[in-house]
Structure 1
Amino acid sequence: MPEGHTLHRLAGVHHELFAGTAVRVSSPQGRFASSASVLDGAVFERAEAHGKHLFHSYGGDRVVHVHLGLYGTFTESELPVAEPRGQVRMRIVGPTHFTDLRGPTKCELLTPDEVTAVRDRLGPDPLRNDAEPERAWARISKSRTSIAALLMDQKILAGVGNVYRAEVLFRHGIPPMTPGRDLGRQRWDLIWADLVELMADGVKVGRIDTVRPEHLPEATGRAPRQDRHGGEVYVYRRAGMPCLICGDEVLTTDLSARKLYWCPTCQPE
């Protein structure tokens, strides 16, 4: 599932391509057809993200809410428009480009009040200027649940997924099964600040890189990571491989139906 940086990157692209212009909206697949007809010809006002949720705002207090889920994708192309390929849920055509949305978990037309209800269910997003990390800490500091599970709970912290969860805990030497209430305020502040920086970099470059300069392939002479997700990481999807710092084996286990990765030496209990 795309993590928060992907949605913020998409919001930036869509805002640049369409904001302030009247756009054509359609649903070649048909599942969004009635809502598309309401929006067709309307002015695309802005695009923004909160966590893993994308919002397209139009005139008349109309907002399209998109959650990509596991399989959703947007593709952007220059005009002229091409025949739809695959199951295109929503197509937006602007003055120079068009974008096609395929396979989302959610693509729905909401009112501003309904958007507020969606956002009220989400925790603070490290990529938003209006984020309030104190809200997340208030819940984490009282919880017996592991910090590894809490970081993935979108009601507590919005936008963090499996990669950022594993990597930020490794970068600060935090055992993933540490109860939230045992984490300590200083370590939470370090986690939050690191997520703000790492995820902002992810928006810029379009991939997740978490390895510090001194541990990069060009600094150590190791081979670059070969993975379809791209990016240089410490532990994510490196189970059974040597830790980049201590050389011990990276471990994995299942936690809340997701794979958790960590180094037991660099993140000791």
Structure 2
Amino acid sequence: MKIMVAIKRVVDYAVKIRVKPDRTGVETQNVKMSMNPFCEIAIEEALRIKEAGLASEVVAVSMGPVQCVDTLRTGLAMGADRGIHVEATAPLYPLSVAKILKALVEVEKPGLLLLGKQAIDDDCNQTGQMVAGLLNWPQGTFASKVVIDKEKQEVTVDREVDGGLETLCLDLPAVITTDLRLNQPRYATLPNIMKAKSKPIKKFTPQKLNVNVKPDLEVVEVTEPPKRKAGILLSSVDELIDKLKNEAHVI
């Protein structure tokens, strides 16, 4: 079985986000970029499935500008066998990404498609569900545990819901999106980083895949959240209750 993993290049989680002066988006020039943390979890789970003898190959896929190759190399250094880069200069929104993934699935024929449940830059949490719908594959979102039965060609997914845990049994092929508690991603070792430089990365474009990536969303404006007012010290509980009641109007 082949596993395909979608990974995204995003602003590093430790970077303080700055909005562009013209409010068209966030500043990415000279800003540290890295792999989306949820995508790291998806790569790690694919590698563990392969190490357990349940998969023969792990293929990492990324979409976007040329710099996405660096993110792919990170996935290859973690242990993925090869990469696919779909080069696109225009912003790609969830539906466009889902359409590209569907086209790649038709080319690669994987038995399992893994994605992070969301990206930390837009928090859309839509691509996995959309590509499952386009492929008409069963889906398990927010996975906190994944168990594959190779003989039955099934995968059991524990997913976190508001009421606790829900367990799904899906026929393969399937789409799974990964949650934080699924695993702890490994660090790429120096020998594997060196090996990653020689691993193949196949190039595609949306046009070559016959995918129309015309945006279905329009970003009108990006603004920073309002700054928090400074706190004040109160002399008594009675004064606190008075302010909560008459100024904040929360009681």
Task: Please classify the TM superposition score into its range, dividing by the shorter chain length.
Answer: under 0.3
- Greater radius of gyration (CA): 2
Higher RCO (C-alpha under 8 Å, 6+ residues apart) = 2
Kindly indicate which of the two structures has a greater share of residues assigned to strand: 2
What TM-score do you get using the length of structure 1 for normalisation?
0.26
